């Protein structure tokens, strides 16, 4: 009987290598090749992986692409395109779930908790996290998404949700998808306004983090902006 998968021996060797040493020693195209095993049972996924990385520039570029882009530019089937384009969302959910029990009592912890919400985002987005008195997460909400002309801080909506969740503290984050994380004048003014509005209801704004193309900026961690103190303690 003919072998239904002519690449079965190679695929078995790849799986054995993963079991023996993990993915740490794999090249980007090898990781993508392995991922495609799950949706392309017959073809040589090594060749497909190389073509995808050439088309999108990197493994990150492939995983950040939409399903439509993967089908139109990468010539993938709908099944493969949906699988690859959903992986960053799976990673984001995993990281968020893992960290929800950790108190956000430092800018670094707050940054690590909020970063997964912005993986793969190509437009500006605002996320607010609502905390209890121990600075543990009670709820996380996306307040704005897909804004084309900059970020519109919906202070009233953040305040409304903070009250509805009976939050003790709030941290917010947004992204600059194509520019640095340095806050604009508008970012600074909006942050100050949000802080003042929350304090009227005895709710503390412990941080505002900006994710940019060059890293991140934390208002709480910046010595030039004395309106925040790490962990919400004065």
Domains, the chain, in order of start with CATH, read 8-93 (1.10.150), 100-232 (3.40.140.10)
Q: What is the mean pLDDT of residues 156-173?
A: 96
- Determine the longest span between alpha carbons in the chain, in angstroms: 77
Please indicate whether residue 114 or residue 234 has the higher confidence score (pLDDT).
114
CA angle 174, 175, 180 (to 5 degrees): 130
Q: What is the mean pLDDT of residues 27-34?
A: 94
CA 123 to each of CA 88, 135, 147, 203: distance values in angstroms, whole numbers, following the listed order:
16, 29, 7, 29
CA 10 to CA 22: how far, in whole Å?
A: 17
Say what the pTM is. 0.58
pLDDT surpassing 90 at residue 31: yes
pLDDT band at 2; cut points 50, 70, 90: very low
Tell me what the pLDDT averaged over the chain comes to.
86
CA 87 to CA 103: how far, in whole Å?
A: 27
Q: What is the mean pLDDT of residues 73-90?
A: 94
């Amino acid at each position: 009987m003919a072998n239904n998968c002519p690449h079965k021996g190679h695929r078995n060797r790849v799986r054995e290598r993963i079991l023996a040493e993990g993915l740490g020693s794999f090249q980007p195209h090898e990781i993508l090749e392995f991922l495609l095993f799950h949706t392309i049972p017959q073809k040589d996924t090594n060749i497909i992986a190389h073509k995808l990385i050439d088309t999108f520039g990197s493994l990150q570029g492939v995983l950040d692409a939409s399903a439509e882009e993967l089908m139109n530019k990468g010539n993938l089937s709908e099944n493969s395109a949906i699988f690859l384009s959903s992986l960053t969302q799976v990673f984001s959910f995993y990281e968020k779930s893992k960290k929800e029990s950790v108190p956000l009592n430092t800018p670094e912890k707050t940054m690590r908790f909020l970063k997964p919400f912005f993986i793969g985002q190509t437009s500006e987005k605002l996320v607010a996290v609502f905390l209890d008195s121990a600075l543990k997460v009670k709820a996380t909400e996306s307040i704005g998404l897909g804004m084309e002309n900059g970020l519109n801080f919906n202070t009233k909506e953040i305040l409304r949700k903070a009250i509805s969740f009976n939050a003790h503290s709030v941290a917010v984050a947004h992204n600059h998808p194509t520019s640095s994380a340095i806050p604009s004048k508008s970012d600074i003014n909006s942050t100050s306004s949000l802080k003042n509005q929350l304090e009227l209801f005895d709710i503390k704004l412990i941080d505002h983090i900006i994710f940019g193309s060059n890293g991140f900026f934390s208002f709480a961690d910046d010595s030039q902006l004395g309106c925040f103190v790490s962990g919400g303690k004065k």
